[in-house]
Amino acid sequence: MKAFIKDIAYYLPERVVTNQELIKDFPEWSVEKVASKVGIQERHLVVDGETATDLAVKAAEQLFISGKAKKEDVDFILFCTQSPDYVLPTSACLIQNRLKLSTNVGALDFNLGCSGYVYGLSLAKGLICGGVARNVLLLTAETYSLHIHPKDKGNRTIFGDAATATLISTEGMSEIGNFSLGTDGSGAGNLIVKTGAFRNPQRKNDLFFDDNKTPISSDYLYMNGTEIFNFTLEAVPLLVKDVLLKNKIEQSDIGLFVFHQANKYMINVLRKKLKIEEERFFIYLEKVGNTVSSTIPIALFQAQKENKLNGHVLLAGFGVGYSWGGVVLNFG
C-alpha cells in the first residue's frame, strides 16, 4: 500500500496586520527594516474568541469545495496544534462534529510546532499503509498570536495565524516517500510558554524587560532566537542528508526544496549552507508570516499554483521541541 497527497487547502483569518500598522507600536522600527529583516509584509491574526479549531474547520471546508476531497470519504482526522480549544476533549472530536463527518472516523490531536506537518504526513502514511484508514484529513492550525506579549516586537513581526487541510489517500498528485525524524528535548526551554498547563497551571506574572527591551515572561511565548538559529544550522543540513539517503536519491535530483518558513533570513542562510540554487528553493512568507505547522502546506499550495511541483520535492520542518522531520514527495 502506498500513500499520496491528494489535495491541499488553507485558510487565513480575516484580520490583517501590515508592517505599517505594526510599527505604530514600535516607532523605532521602519517598514523597510521589518521587511528586510524577516521578509514579511503582513500577517493574519485571529480576533477575540476565534480559535485554532475555528480556523481548521474553515480550512477543511475550503478543501471540500475543491471537489477532490469528499466528506463521506474521510475516515480519519489528524489535527496538529499547540493551541487547542480545551485541555480536554480532543479538538479533532469537535472538528468531526462541526464538519458533520461520519461517526465512524478516527480522530486525534497531536501537539507539535514547526515540524508538525511532516510528522502529520508520517502518521497519515502509517495509517494508510497499515490498513487503518484510506482517506486521512490532516489539519494544521495555530494561533501563536495569542501566546505573544503585545510589546514583543520580534515575535509579533514573525508569527501569523493560519490553518491548512490536506487529504492523504491511496491515490493522488504526489506519493509520500521515506521519512527522517528527530527530537532533542534538551532544547525545549529555548521556545516555550511555561505557564497554563499542569507543570505551572497558574500565571506567574513575572514580566520583565531585557537589555533590548524585549518582554520576558513565563506567561507568554519565549524564544531564544540565537539558540534556535544555532540549532537550525546544525540540525537541518544533517536532516537533508538523511532524507536523501533514506530515499536513495542525490541532492541534484530534487526539483524543489520546501522548508519550514521560519523567516527569510534564516532559511536563506540554510539555503546557502546547503548550496541550493534559488530557483530550486521555495519561499512564501511575505503575505502570511511564520504560521508554524502550516508554513509547509501553504508553501506547497502556492508552489502548485506556480507549477513548480515536479519530480522530487523535499520537505523539511524544524523548531520547537526541539523537533525536526523531513520527507521526499514524488510528483508525477
Q: Which of 19, 114, 149, 247 is the catalytic position?
A: 114
- Answer yes or no: 205 catalytic: no
* Distance in angstroms (rounded) separating the CA atoms of residues 7 and 32: 36
Q: Which of 44, 147, 149, 260 is the catalytic position?
A: 260
- Answer yes or no: 290 catalytic: yes
Q: Give the CA diameter of the chain.
A: 57
- DSSP letter at 47 equals P
Q: How many CB atoms lie within 10 A of CB 277?
A: 8
Helix (H) or strand (E) holding 302: helix 295-305
End-to-end C-alpha distance for the chain, whole angstroms: 18
Contact between 4 and 169 under an 8 Å Cβ cutoff? The reply is yes
- Answer yes or no: 114 catalytic: yes
Cell numbers at residue 332, please?
Answer: 508525477
* Distance in angstroms (rounded) separating the CA atoms of residues 82 and 153: 21
Taking each continuous run of H as one helix and of E as one strand, the counts in the chain are 9, 15
Cell numbers at residue 79, please?
Answer: 489535527
User: Mind telling me the catalytic residues?
Assistant: 114, 260, 290
